[in-house]
Amino acid sequence: MACSLPPCVVSSADIESRLAPVYERFHLPVGRLEMMTGIRERRFWEPGILPGKISAETAEKAVAQSRLDRAHLGCVVHGSVCRDQLEPATANAVHHSLGLAGSALVLDVSNACLGLLNGMLLVANMIELGQIRAGLVVGTEMGRGLVEGTIDTLLSSTTLTKQDVKLAFASLTIGSGSAAIVLCDRKLSKTGNRLLGGQFQADTASHELCAGGVAAETHGDDRPRMQTDSEALLHAGIELAGATWQETKRVLNWTGSDVQKSFTHQVGRAHRRLLYEKLGLDPGLDFSTVEFLGNTGAAALPLTAALGIERGHVKPGDNVALLGIGSGLSAIMLGLNWAGTAKTG
């Protein structure tokens, strides 16, 4: 696993300063954004940079760290919400930049904050079926347009209500980030790390609780906007997570005591607390990045895992739980057994 972090840091205090007229109008307390979410800052890339460029750089890091011959990479999946354009697939830009074989399958996968985990399942299944020996999953989220577009909409609206502010609140937690994962069969592996399996569950009755897209005719620009019923989404997501974790433990033949470390989708402080309570896991197993990266969408969980591994959170021999939840609602939970970093030879 590898990740890339953007250079531009924007604090929650900076965002609230820009929203001062809205805060004054609705008598909102300053500091509310960080207090409610635990997010003190998030990061953005410079304007104009395309996700595919960053994804290619992050993918290059992951391939180098894996120490695999890139000729073995038989599939490239780009799994973030953000893409270079509607078509062709952004995975093409990554494939071209890495100089991969023409026989490698190239595709984008979209599933809100679960795209990269979906990509891991696709590549793992192709390996198990003997179709490929190794594959790459990568994605880059660009949060600047959503956050700045939301701020401009809140400031310019002549019909703004407190409910509108509430529905836009989650959009202000978004950050940017990039992550990549290389998977291969065990004979190619230079680590011994293993993806053990996992479970998927859906609650599509909740698909309208969080919805985003581009509506230029409404907002006057091509930046995305998002409306989120944060409280309802939080509780529905936690319930789905609980059911998915029970099935994941059954599939992996795990109990809670078999988990040494865990990584979750990065939403906010309340989500983290309620999730670990529901799953019956010690929050001390977790590695958190939401405080300084915000919610980085589909990149959030693998990015956090890459940083946690890099910073020594995971030790050789650890069983690691990847606890993914995305709007829709969907949940993917996977188990890893971590042996260490790639060895030469």
Q: Which residues contact 93 (CB under 8 A, 6 or more apart)?
A: 50, 52, 53, 55, 56, 84
46 is catalytic: no
Q: Which residues contact 110 (CB under 8 A, 6 or more apart)?
A: 79, 81
Q: What angle do CA 178, 200, 238 make, to 5 degrees?
A: 80
Structure tokens at 194: 């293993």
DSSP 286: B
Asked if residue 256 lies in contact with residue 280, where contact means CB atoms within 8 angstroms, the answer is yes
Residue 113 identity (one-letter amino acid): C
Backbone angles phi, psi at 84, to 5 degrees: -70, -35
Structure tokens at 43: 């990061």
**What is the C-alpha to C-alpha distance for residues 335 and 119, in angstroms, rounded to an integer?**
15
75 is catalytic: no
Backbone angles phi, psi at 302, to 5 degrees: -65, -30
Per annotation, catalytic residue among 75, 82, 113, 210: 113
Active site residues: 87, 113
